[in-house]
Structure 1
Amino acid sequence: MQNEADGATPHDNIHENMASLNAKSSANAAVSAPANEEEGEHDILALALEMQQRCTFLLDELEQFQVYVKDQGSEHDVELKVFKRGLQSEKRIIDKIAKDPSKVKNIHAWCALNSSNLSFFSALWSTAKTCSGVTGMLRRFYWLPGQTTAYINGMVNSAGLEHRKHSTLVDIVCLEGLEWVKVSSIRENRIIMDLAKAGWVGSDSSEAEEEDDNGNEPQGLSKQVEELVKAARSTRVKYRHPTVRLVLTRISSTPKIKEVAQILQQIRDMGVTVQTSETVPEPTPIAEVLHQLAVDRSKSVSDVLNIDCTILLAFVSDLSHGRVEPQDWHHQMINRQRELESKEPFLLNELWPACGSRKLVCTSTAFESLQRIIGILATKTEKRRAALLLGLDDCANLSADQLREEFQSLSEHSIPADWSLPIEVVDVDLAALRSRLPPAFNKLSESLPEINQSVFFYGWESGRTTLSSNRVAAKQIESSIEENRTSDEDRGPDVWLFQSRSLVGKEKKRRGA
């Protein structure tokens, strides 16, 4: 709209802003190059050494984080390979220049250092350290025009040409996948140049072209955010679309140029949270934020936990409670679990910390399934642990302390003092339960075995997190809900998946023995 007071149009304002900014750019460029060969070599070495130190520091902090998540048993939940490779690539270039700048022509070395992505990686890492539950950095997500079914957790079976044409990189994936963060060090003048490039105003400014070639923003900011929003709307994590947050490290909440303020408002209108430079915190040492940075699933579970039969088996299995001597009749799966257990005890590292002091329940169907398996396969110690776990037979009148005390006599591991025993068995009326489920669950009632319906549908209806090793059933439920949802608000059961532990079993009697 034309300004009636002075007759200026937005195109004119942008043109004036660009003229002013380009003049400043030219002035700055005049002092950026080295004055002479000797001085240039000294300046290049100083810059390379400083950047080398920063890069080493970032890699050291990243390594500390990776060690921490490995100790927590969640290293497979965090994707950092692309980010780490990018940092390592930057360091190799910087190391080469720092080792002997005389072997690299000054102008080439200067350009290499000034066009380095190290500042971008530093901004990403500093922002990541303010986030919670980080599950990835520089991770690619996809969308397709006209897509009706969301990609679960962003997983695409086969990323073909169409997917590559419709994809975007997410700088930081956090809140266990529910928030995507884009970090941008773009300045106001760059946004103005992007507007000009998009056709708001013609420009033959060589400075504008140079700024565009050297920057880390190959597309306009609005275009990048728009692609993030498209990908987020085509992705579901825990039945929800991720939210998008844009972190602008060099733009304030009150931009000096009104066109920039308009662009930021357009981005907010897309449903994106915009975080400007005033609220960007100072970098924090990694040791102070490791606990928040890593995924801690236990923070988002219910106060009462619904225990699937697969987890009941893990609680009572001999494999979970100490060394089991290998036997020639052991199944290959038992041998594999025995190896895993020797390296990382499942109850100690995963299951007991997940339970904490929370009340534990299981459905009557899960209980009956456990009893059938125990009756066929269990060793004497496994049968006793099952009785203690559920307060059966002569254990019915024992206190929680007494149950834990005897359980301790059957385990090489220290039983947690706050482990809630016995597990309560709850009756489930499956027919009544099905009637209270949303339409998206109807298809599942036709294909899911009743024991799985009992466990997972009860968890959904009661709002209780289900602990399970049944990945097949969990994936089937999630896929079916996405394919048959009738509302954007449809949610499935909250399922926390773990590895499995089988009963050791008994040797079958040999024929003729």
Structure 2
Amino acid sequence: MGTNPEDDAKTSSTATTASATILCTRLIHHCRLLLAELDTFQNAIASRFRRHQQQQHLVEMRLLRSNIASELKTLEKLASDTRALVAERAEKEKRREEKRREEQQQPQQQDGYDDDDADLVMREARIIHTLRSSNLSFLTSLWTIAKDRCPGIISFSKRFYWDKDANKPFVDSKEDHKQQAKPPNKDKRKSAFVDIVYGNGEDWMKVSSINESRLLFEMAEKGWELDSEEEDESFSPQNLQLEQGQSRDIPADHGEGGEDSDQLELITMAFDMIKAARATRVRYRSPRVHIIAPKLEEGKVPEIDKVLNIIRSYGVTIECGIPLRDIFSHDEAYDKRDPNSITEDDLPLSSMLPNPFEKFTNIINVDCTLLLALVSDLSHLQKIAPSPSFHRAIIRQIEVEDELPLLSTELWPAMVGRQLVCTQEAIKRMKEIVSTIGTETEKKRTAILLGEGDMEGLDKDALLRELQNISDHSIPDQLNLPIGVVDAHAEIDAAMRYKKFPPVIDKITEILTDINYSVFLYGWARDIVTISSNKTVVKQIESTIEDNRGDDDKLEGPRIWICDTARSLIGKEKNRKP
């Protein structure tokens, strides 16, 4: 018995529409789960870290979330279109059935669709194609790799330039009542887009969605001949040194806005990331560059293996064949997961969250600026009522302190469990300020921190109890008191004598006052971390090192951690400079 072509077409089209409906539902659910995880991660950051005055958050993820939210809107629009198609098809079938009843006759066999049928089929096919081409697959891979392989995340979807000035953060100087600075000119043709910045800034990750067939097609299209032992000399540089060790140099004209029609996309991407990394310094070093290509398989196609080896020769690590979830496949447990149920326990926060104290030394050198913050009433007393006698800077610090207490959010995490020292010059200046404008409680805290005066001879536990008695915040048991006072000049002179400092030391000493000389050079000589809120001096030191680096890629300066804000002593009069 023959079948009715119209019935077959209806069955096929109905199945297609059902497939589109199921796929829309699955992808929308997946997208909402992804957003829920991102929001949970963002909330964890907000609850653990202080907001920087010049940055939205310690971790930049606005663009990534925006892309996922945009994808959700697109999927919801496709779902709406699919529902409209279902309704339109149902209405059409209803009219047909009514017509049949009116004519009281059986459906006639037809050789195909009418124009309306063809239009519906084309629209359904477009929806299926758009769903299958969704960028959600890449965004999910990116987030999965971030969770599994990227500790200490500080940024997603960030652009870096190989014009060094363009990489410097733009700071609005109106806050300092100075002339507004112009942001640097940024040419995107001279930049690399990094998917994940992690390792507390020291590592860059790029996720490539290229697959084997696409790469081989591109190689054939661009005339790559990799059967011979020799590689194309146009991208076989020499003698570039990065943290990964020996690697090749990059042609000076590569990526300078011209078109490299013979270059493979994967190699161009590696080139650009390396060039941008060379123009960027994080704690005096260029970031390490990594690429993950989940859809490529190493050891299968010799031509692809040679491309991977070329990329590695530039100092880039590239990893292939990473198994990732296929968002188009059915996963009952995942499909039934409620986005509202996502909690911090569902994410590997212990590794994902940035840790600015990860590479801290066991001994910490405390600058005068933070010694003052440690004794200030502003740091220890809650609910301080603003007074007309307070300098505007004091009022602003009270507001900031109410939002995020300095001790618990920054200083205790940096200090607890470590031996604390300060230089004679730093403590002398701190005492001068305290004795001049400090309150009685600020003077007492100074004695406690140093174990002097009435506090002399007390052990650590007794000093902590004394400090707790005049503080509204919990004093950690692991805080090591008293702070040791060291002879900085003896250590610095010995380092000078044995040439422990690089030649740039002569230029750095020219820009330092006596107190900054003792503080920062002592930490440098001992190779220990110095903590300070003196951003101006630290930036001068870093700029001097970079300006005099030359070809020395391994040149490093003192290890310094900058506290975002400090605290003044509350005793400042209104007309006194902060």
Post-superposition Cα deviations, 1:409-444, rounded to whole Å, max 9, x if no partner, equal: 111112111110000000111555555421122222
State yes or no: 1:92 paired with 2:92.
no
- Structure 2 equivalent of residue 136 of structure 1: 155
Quick one: structure 1 residues 427 and 376, their matched pair in 2 at CA, closer, same or farther if it must change by over 3 Å?
same
State yes or no: 1:277 paired with 2:301.
no
- Structure 2 equivalent of residue 101 of structure 1: 82
Quick one: structure 1 residues 477 and 151, their matched pair in 2 at CA, closer, same or farther if it must change by over 3 Å?
farther
Contact (CA 8 Å) 1:268, 1:274: kept in 2 or not? yes
Contact (CA 8 Å) 1:141, 1:167: kept in 2 or not? yes
Q: Percent identity?
A: 37
C-alpha separation between the residues in 1 aligned to 2:191 and 2:574? 55
**Structure 1: which amino acid aligns with 2:378?**
L
Q: Secondary structure of the equivalent of 1:238?
A: coil
C-alpha separation between the residues in 1 aligned to 2:429 and 2:325? 53
Contact (CA 8 Å) 2:391, 2:572: kept in 1 or not? no
- Structure 2 equivalent of residue 440 of structure 1: 504
State yes or no: 1:62 paired with 2:62.
no
Post-superposition Cα deviations, 1:17-47, rounded to whole Å, max 9, x if no partner, equal: xxxxxxxxxxxxxxxxx98443322211111
Quick one: structure 1 residues 107 and 245, their matched pair in 2 at CA, closer, same or farther if it must change by over 3 Å?
same
- Structure 1 equivalent of residue 530 of structure 2: 466
- Structure 1 equivalent of residue 350 of structure 2: 291
C-alpha separation between the residues in 2 aligned to 1:52 and 1:508? 57
195, 214, 217: which one aligns with 2:219:
195
Post-superposition Cα deviations, 1:119-142, rounded to whole Å, max 9, x if no partner, equal: 110010000112111011110000
Residues 429-438 or 128-137, more deviating: 429-438
**Structure 1: which amino acid aligns with 2:162?**
W
C-alpha separation between the residues in 2 aligned to 1:282 and 1:492? 46
- Structure 2 equivalent of residue 204 of structure 1: none
262, 267, 270: which one aligns with 1:222:
267
C-alpha separation between the residues in 2 aligned to 1:345 and 1:102? 52
Residues 99-108 or 456-465, more deviating: 99-108
Post-superposition Cα deviations, 1:165-223, rounded to whole Å, max 9, x if no partner, equal: 2011001110011111111232111111221332339xxxxxxxxxxxxxxxx961111
**Structure 2: which amino acid aligns with 1:397?**
G
469, 480, 497: which one aligns with 2:562:
497
Post-superposition Cα deviations, 1:291-339, rounded to whole Å, max 9, x if no partner, equal: 1101112221000111011111111000111122221110111111111
Contact (CA 8 Å) 1:244, 1:273: kept in 2 or not? yes
TM alignment of 1:256-335, pairs within 5 A:
257-277=301-321, 287-323=346-382, 324-335=384-395
- Structure 2 equivalent of residue 243 of structure 1: 288
**Structure 1: which amino acid aligns with 2:512?**
L
Contact (CA 8 Å) 1:365, 1:451: kept in 2 or not? yes
Residues 461-470 or 430-439, more deviating: 430-439
**Structure 2: which amino acid aligns with 1:495?**
I
63, 84, 105: which one aligns with 1:82:
63
Residues 446-455 or 279-288, more deviating: 279-288
Contact (CA 8 Å) 2:391, 2:574: kept in 1 or not? no
Q: CA deviation at 1:152?
A: 5.9
Quick one: structure 1 residues 186 and 508, their matched pair in 2 at CA, closer, same or farther if it must change by over 3 Å?
closer
Contact (CA 8 Å) 2:64, 2:157: kept in 1 or not? yes
Q: Secondary structure of the equivalent of 2:271?
A: helix
C-alpha separation between the residues in 1 aligned to 2:182 and 2:542? 16
Contact (CA 8 Å) 2:157, 2:196: kept in 1 or not? yes
State yes or no: 1:47 paired with 2:71.
no
**Structure 1: which amino acid aligns with 2:185?**
G
Q: Secondary structure of the equivalent of 1:53?
A: helix
C-alpha separation between the residues in 2 aligned to 1:88 and 1:35? 35
Q: Secondary structure of the equivalent of 1:275?
A: strand
Question: Which is helix-richer, 1 or 2?
Answer: 1
Quick one: structure 1 residues 135 and 246, their matched pair in 2 at CA, closer, same or farther if it must change by over 3 Å?
same
Contact (CA 8 Å) 1:245, 1:272: kept in 2 or not? yes
**Structure 2: which amino acid aligns with 1:240?**
R
Residues 74-83 or 265-274, more deviating: 74-83
State yes or no: 1:122 paired with 2:140.
yes
Contact (CA 8 Å) 1:135, 1:177: kept in 2 or not? yes
Runs (5+) with no aligned partner, structure 2: 1-9, 52-56, 86-122, 172-180, 226-262, 328-333, 335-341
- Structure 2 equivalent of residue 211 of structure 1: none
**Structure 2: which amino acid aligns with 1:371?**
K
Q: CA deviation at 1:102?
A: 4.0
Q: Secondary structure of the equivalent of 1:169?
A: strand
C-alpha separation between the residues in 1 aligned to 2:312 and 2:143? 24
330, 337, 340: which one aligns with 2:400:
340
Residues 101-110 or 399-408, more deviating: 101-110
Q: Secondary structure of the equivalent of 1:306?
A: strand
Q: CA deviation at 1:373?
A: 0.7
Residues 377-386 or 448-457, more deviating: 448-457
C-alpha separation between the residues in 2 aligned to 1:125 and 1:463? 37
Contact (CA 8 Å) 1:390, 1:423: kept in 2 or not? yes
Quick one: structure 1 residues 455 and 191, their matched pair in 2 at CA, closer, same or farther if it must change by over 3 Å?
same
Q: Secondary structure of the equivalent of 1:200?
A: coil
Quick one: structure 1 residues 188 and 153, their matched pair in 2 at CA, closer, same or farther if it must change by over 3 Å?
farther
C-alpha separation between the residues in 1 aligned to 2:161 and 2:312? 22
- Structure 1 equivalent of residue 521 of structure 2: 457
C-alpha separation between the residues in 2 aligned to 1:254 and 1:153? 42
State yes or no: 1:475 paired with 2:504.
no
Q: Secondary structure of the equivalent of 2:422?
A: strand
- Normalising by structure 2, what TM-score? 0.74
C-alpha separation between the residues in 1 aligned to 2:153 and 2:27? 26
Residues 486-495 or 466-475, more deviating: 486-495
**Structure 2: which amino acid aligns with 1:220?**
E
- Structure 1 equivalent of residue 110 of structure 2: none
Quick one: structure 1 residues 126 and 339, their matched pair in 2 at CA, closer, same or farther if it must change by over 3 Å?
same
- Structure 2 equivalent of residue 110 of structure 1: 128
C-alpha separation between the residues in 1 aligned to 2:168 and 2:312? 25
- Structure 2 equivalent of residue 357 of structure 1: 417
Contact (CA 8 Å) 1:154, 1:236: kept in 2 or not? no
C-alpha separation between the residues in 2 aligned to 1:361 and 1:282? 54
- Structure 1 equivalent of residue 476 of structure 2: 416
C-alpha separation between the residues in 2 aligned to 1:43 and 1:71? 42
C-alpha separation between the residues in 2 aligned to 1:278 and 1:368? 58
State yes or no: 1:176 paired with 2:152.
no
Contact (CA 8 Å) 1:153, 1:235: kept in 2 or not? no
165, 185, 190: which one aligns with 1:160:
185
Contact (CA 8 Å) 1:439, 1:485: kept in 2 or not? no
Q: CA deviation at 1:108?
A: 3.4
Q: Which has the larger radius of gyration?
A: 2
Quick one: structure 1 residues 150 and 453, their matched pair in 2 at CA, closer, same or farther if it must change by over 3 Å?
farther
